[in-house]
Structures are given as structure tokens and as C-alpha cells.
Structure 1
Amino acid sequence: MIDVKEIEFWREKMQKFVEKEMWPFEPLLPRFENTLPVKVTNNIIEKMKEQGLWSLTVPKKLGGQGISTSSYCAVREALGRTILWGMTGIHLGGSGDPLMVLYHCNDEQKERYLFPLIRGELIASFAQTEPGAGADQAGMKTRAIRKGSGWVLHGHKTFITHGTVSDFVIVFATTDPEKGRKGVTCFLVDKGTPGFIIGDTIETMGGDRLGDLHFKDCYIPDSQVLGIVGNGFRMAQNWFIGNRITLQPPICLGIVGRTIEELLRVFPNEVDDKWLGQIQAEYHRARLLMYDAAYKFDKGEEPQYEASLSKVATVGLTMKVLRRALEISGSHGYAEDSMFQRYYRDVRRLPITEGSMETQKMVTSRALIRGFSPVDSLSPITVSEVGGYV
């Protein structure tokens, strides 16, 4: 069973932090950026560390809090209650919670990458998506060719979050094209490495600034291989599932909660009871799906089906709620300083990134076709256990 008290403890702790330490700085966030002044960002990070909200998923033996996936979902749900949820410095490798694949670092790599990330001294990027191939590792064009005691990278990665500001990049490349996904290897490439070229910054409709990365005759020594050669896809698969549970779904639920509260506070007479009742039902369904996936992940399972369902339910619900919020609030919601329009622009990328919504629907449908039984996979989680209401 999941530890309900632990989940509630971390949710309340993070929610108090968001309301006291983050909400006051929301007006400082530029219209089309997710970056606050360095002094403000550092101040928030230092307070997170002081209050024990840093390195939450890091094992205790490495100096972290070692909380469960379920509790981390609760923390990120609270984080979703601020438009600062995606700000550079506390997102994707920030908050002292490194990308899970980095736990495959050897001892030397831990000193250079893992531990500095945990301390908040570095920013990392995950470089998989390619022009024409998307995030499909089987169709990956970036090659790593053996040369002496290292590898030469050739390829192009695009739409990489924090790609232009990261200190190092986790790059996936094909080392044996004939083996498909079994021939994919992961490399750690430092900013400034000869042949690693940071291209144009890709502007978006939200606050994200994405990177266009090129590798031309980029020599990488064997010491920069992460894990085992040819095991890149398998090594990352577990991270993909965990990331799909903890990255987008809880943020979406936090956004839905705050959006509904703001609508009821400012436009109570315009919110239709039937619509609100339907949203309440969908909110609880989405929330249970997320915690079901987190519960199974904590048990050591690989709940790919449940993770995909969670993304479809939470992201779809958030888009629906924000569209309706813009309609209800009219010109107020469309205004530059409106929370609704800011949330909407930032969230609009979620159906596309981290595995598109269409891909997740395909994953779940194929699982059923192959004989997967969602009834047999049900876990003993109830609404009363996970708590929380809009």
C-alpha cells in the first residue's frame, strides 16, 4: 500500500512553499521566457534547500530525501500551482533531482556529473529528438563510429529543452545500425567539446527556449559512455516510464486545481455547475491513474500502460480546463498578465513532448490487442487514500 501520510506531508510542505516563496515572484516572469533574474532564482533554490525540498528523489545514501515516486508526484502537483513550475533552474535536472539515467554513471562520472547536479551546480539536457525521426530510437540518424579508444559523433538533435544553456548533454546515438534499438548507446557530452555545435535557439509560443544541437566529427572518449555500449535504449526505458509519471501528470493536476480555484474566486457566477461536476469526476479519474502508475513504479514494475494512460488523462483534462477558463474569463483571461493565458501557452506543448498524446494512445491500444488485461493490473488505491480535491 502507498504511504498516505508521507504523500500528504510532502504535498502540504511544497504547497506552503509555493504560496509563500514562489507566488510573490510570478509577476516578474517575462512574457515569453521561463527565466527569472538570477538573484531571484538562486534565492528560491536556497530556500528549497533550507526547507528540505531539494534532492527529494535522490537516495538517502547519496544525501537525498529518498522519497517515493508517489510522494514526488504530490510534490510536483503542488509545484504545478504556480506559473513558475517550468522555470530554468528547478526543472529537468534541477531541484537536485537528476535525470534517472545518470544513476548509471560510473564512479568517475558521478563525481563529474551526478553529484554536481544533485548539488544544483549544473544543468543537463536530454538529447534524443531528431529532425524527421522525432524521439523514435529505432529511426535514429545520429551515429557514433568507433575510433581508437573512443567514438566520433555525427548527427543533429533538435527541440532540446535547455539545450542552449546546459553544461552537458546526454546524447543518444546509434553505434550499431543493424541492431536497431539494441544498437543505441548513450554518451555524456560536455559543452565546449570540439565538434559539439550549439545552433539556433528555437523560440516557442510558451516560455520554453529549445536548442538545436549539431555534432560534427565530435570525438568522445570511452570514459564518456554512459552505461554499456548498445544498452542505451534499455537503460533509458525505465527512465522514460518514470518520467512519464512524474514530469507532466502531477504538474497538470496542480494547474487544474489552481485554475478551478481562480475561476470560482473571480467568476463564480459564470462557472456552470454541470461542467464543474464533470471536471471534478475527470480530475479524480486522472489523479487515480497517476497514483496507480506511481504505486506500481515504486514496487519495481514497469507500468508503461498505466504511465501512458496517466499522460493522456491528465494532459487532456488540463487543456480542456484551460480552454474553458479562457472562454469564461473573456478579455480578462486573454490579457497579458492573466494566469490562464500563461498556463495555456506553457501547457500547449505537453500533448507533443515526452511522447505525444497519439503515441500514448497507440501504446495503450497495442497493449490491449496483445492481451494485456487492465482489470488484472488494478492496484488497491482508493480516492480516500490519495486525498485532495479541486
Structure 2
Amino acid sequence: MYLTEKHQLFRKLVKQFAQTELKPELLDEIEETNHYPREILDKMAECGFFGVKIPKKWGGAGFDTRAYVILNEELASVSAISAIYANTPNSLGGGPLLSAGTEEQLEKYLIPLAKGKRIISFALTEPGAGSDAGGMQTTAVKDGDHYILNGRKCFITHAPEADYAIIFAKTDPQRGTKGISAFIVDMTLPGVSTGLPEKKMGIIGGPTSDIILKDVRVHKRDRLGEENRGFINAMKTLDGGRIGVAAQSIGVAKGALEETIKYSQERTQFGRKIKDFQAISFTIAGMATKLEAARLLTYQAAYLKDTGQDASKAASMAKWYASEACNEICAKAIQVHGGYGFIKDYKVERFYRDCRVFTIYEGTSQVQQMVIAGQLLKK
């Protein structure tokens, strides 16, 4: 319904990459070492994954949002952390630049990002300002041709290994979200530091930490977009990012469902394959149906975005439903596996841990409900 032959060929490429490069022993090593191999990232760059949604002019493939969904879905069906590495340049890393960047900024920052030579983090969340971005405390005070940034960001994906970060700070603290500006901050600038990587439940191999800013001088040429218009940039970026999280959700759910079907066909209890028990077969039927509903919502949102229609509500619906459905599907996958599902030797254990964050990051399920209700009930 939503996909062309070109999309199907791209799916074949990503699927082949996932099956060939993301071997179980590699994924086990990532879990044990908490380190994602550079050689795999280089291979992703060679395949053009980091620039799927980025225009060819800026080093990308110039493909569309549906291809971006395919990329996330197929990689996440094998490895959620791999999907996140491929997703970030096309979403939270590249999105703010595409939305508000100058020609000079796009040349300097976006091209290396699309080619996998640089990592850019998106730093909006703070210890006291998660869903309520207007409550952020980070400030940017103008000083001649520079801004002086002070504050602390938290839960920032890839922060310890990032070359740059898109930092959102208040340039007019009295105006709430209307006083927020965005800045491209070089992570090697004096006064920039990161905290220790968080010890997370899942998404192992992608470091997440605080970014601390102490009297950091950022030149005005690295302000991203107009002053006091940063919040709008952030929201536009998150709209697209929510489609990415929905795609990761359907990918992980698909992986969990496939493992569950396979296990039910192999496991014997009471002299029968467990797939022959109605309780198991109906559980699997429910898992598959929820996954298909989530997939349709996700691709519909991507299609709306690709055709220039307002996709904000659809993106929130897809992110909310797909992330919640993924958590339910992975929980049932564990249940069908029984005690084995609780053991790290089985893939569903990792899927279950990885998917838990999907209902939280890039806007919680409750925030998605706020967005959807706000659009439905506005006067």
C-alpha cells in the first residue's frame, strides 16, 4: 500500500546486512563489553545507512521517511542498538540541521554526519526538565559575538562519543519555551564535559550520559536557527524521530514474534508441540495482529510525511501504539518461552530489555496522548 519496488529493494539490502553482519556472537560481545564495534559502523556508512533521509546535496542518499522506517525496522528486528546508531544521523542528529541550518552549517556538520565520519547528539532533556522542556535551566547569555552556555543535560544518547551536540538553552528565561535557542556545540570546547555513562537496563553498547556546560563560549555562527526559535526546531525534529521509534518498536516486536513462533514449533510439553495448545496459538495470533496494526500506523505516518501532509498526530499515534504494543509482544514472548525466556542465551530476553525504553524516550506515551488529544480537541 505504501511501498514502491525501490523500497522493497532497500528492505532486501538492510535485511541482508542485518543477517550477515549482526551475528549472535557479535551481539553477545556488545552486551558483555558495552562497546559497539567501529567496523560495523563503517560498514553501515558504506551502505549509506547514516544518510538515508539526508539529501544527496549534503552527502546522503536522498531517500524518504518510508525508507527510514524500513532501515529501523529491519535492523531492530535483530539488534535495537544497531538501529539506534543508524537512526540518529537521520533523526535527532541531522534533523535540527536540516530544519534550521545555514549552508555553512550544513556543509560543515551535516555532510560528515551523513557519511558516518562524525557523531552529533541531541541534548534537550535535563534532570528537572524531561517532558516539560520549558522548565529547562540551561542558559545562553550573549557576550559580543559569542554566547556563554551554562547548564546540564541528562540521558543524552551517544554523548560520551559525540563530536558535537545540539544544545537547547534559554536565551530569554522569562519566555518559557518561546525563549529557547539551539546551538551546535563542539564537544572539545573548554568547559564541556560528560558524566559517566549510565548503567542501563537495555540498549547496551550505546553510551548515554550527562553533558555539563560551564561557561562554554559558542560563536554566534554556531547558533542553529533564529534566536528564541529553538523549541520549534526541537518539536519538528521529534515529530520525525517518533516515527523512527515506532519503526524500532515494530522491528523489535517482529524479532520477538519470529523467535516465539520458532520456539513454539520446537518446544514439546505433555507429548505435544506447544504450538498445538490453544493458549499458545491464540497468544501468538494476538501478538501478530498487534504488530500488524502497529506497522500500518507507522507506515501511514511515514507516508503522510513523505507526501507533505501534516504527520504530527499520526507520528504520535504510531509512536504511542507501536511502543506499547512492542512491550506487550515482548512480554508475551517471554511468557511463551517460560523459564528459558528469562535466560540471556535466548534472544527474547534482550528484546524485552531493549524495548522498555521505547515508551519513554523521544516523548513518553503520556506525552503522545497529550499531542493526540490536543490536536483532536483544539478549537
Q: Using structure 2 for the length normalisation, give the TM-score.
A: 0.89
2:321 is aligned, of 305, 310, 313, to 313
Q: CA deviation at 1:355?
A: 0.2
Q: Is the 8 A contact 2:157 2:209 kept in 1?
A: yes
Q: CA deviation at 1:89?
A: 5.0
1:298 is aligned, of 306, 318, 321, to 306
Identify, as 1 or 2, the structure richer in helix: 2
Partner of 1:333 in structure 2?
Answer: 341
Q: Is the 8 A contact 1:22 1:84 kept in 2?
A: no
Q: Is the 8 A contact 1:98 1:118 kept in 2?
A: no
Partner of 1:286 in structure 2?
Answer: 294
1:241 is aligned, of 239, 242, 259, to 239
Q: CA deviation at 1:200?
A: 2.7
Partner of 1:100 in structure 2?
Answer: 95
Partner of 1:164 in structure 2?
Answer: 160
SS in structure 2 of the partner of residue 202 of structure 1? coil
Task: Deviation per CA, 1:235-261: give whole Å up to 9, x if none.
Answer: 23221111111x211121122222212
Q: Is the 8 A contact 2:59 2:111 kept in 1?
A: no
Partner of 1:355 in structure 2?
Answer: 363
Task: Deviation per CA, 1:145-189: give whole Å up to 9, x if none.
Answer: 111111111111111111111111110001012222221100111
Distance 2:75 2:258 in 1: 15
Aligned length: 365
Partner of 2:229 in structure 1?
Answer: 231
Q: CA deviation at 1:266?
A: 2.0
Q: Sequence identity, in percent?
A: 32
Task: Deviation per CA, 1:96-122: give whole Å up to 9, x if none.
Answer: 995211123323323432111122111
SS in structure 2 of the partner of residue 36 of structure 1? coil
Distance 2:374 2:281 in 1: 37
Partner of 1:266 in structure 2?
Answer: 263
Q: Using structure 1 for the length normalisation, give the TM-score.
A: 0.86
Partner of 2:269 in structure 1?
Answer: none
Partner of 2:12 in structure 1?
Answer: 12
Name the CA shift for 1:53/1:168 in 2 (closer, same or farther; >3 Å). closer
Q: Is the 8 A contact 2:139 2:150 kept in 1?
A: yes
Partner of 2:23 in structure 1?
Answer: 23
Q: CA deviation at 1:126?
A: 0.7
Q: CA deviation at 1:190?
A: 0.9
Partner of 1:257 in structure 2?
Answer: 254
Distance 1:351 1:134 in 2: 14
Q: Is the 8 A contact 1:55 1:97 kept in 2?
A: no
Partner of 1:190 in structure 2?
Answer: 186
Partner of 1:384 in structure 2?
Answer: none
Q: CA deviation at 1:300?
A: 2.2
Give the RMSD, CA atoms, in angstroms: 2.3
2:69 is aligned, of 56, 64, 73, to 73
Task: Deviation per CA, 1:42-91: give whole Å up to 9, x if none.
Answer: 2x344444445452112123342211111221222111121254478545
Partner of 1:383 in structure 2?
Answer: none
Name the CA shift for 1:35/1:70 in 2 (closer, same or farther; >3 Å). same
Distance 1:57 1:31 in 2: 29
Name the CA shift for 1:180/1:349 in 2 (closer, same or farther; >3 Å). same
Q: CA deviation at 1:357?
A: 0.8
Q: Is the 8 A contact 2:50 2:86 kept in 1?
A: no
Q: CA deviation at 1:278?
A: 2.1
Task: Deviation per CA, 1:249-295: give whole Å up to 9, x if none.
Answer: 11211222222121121223335222222222222211111111111
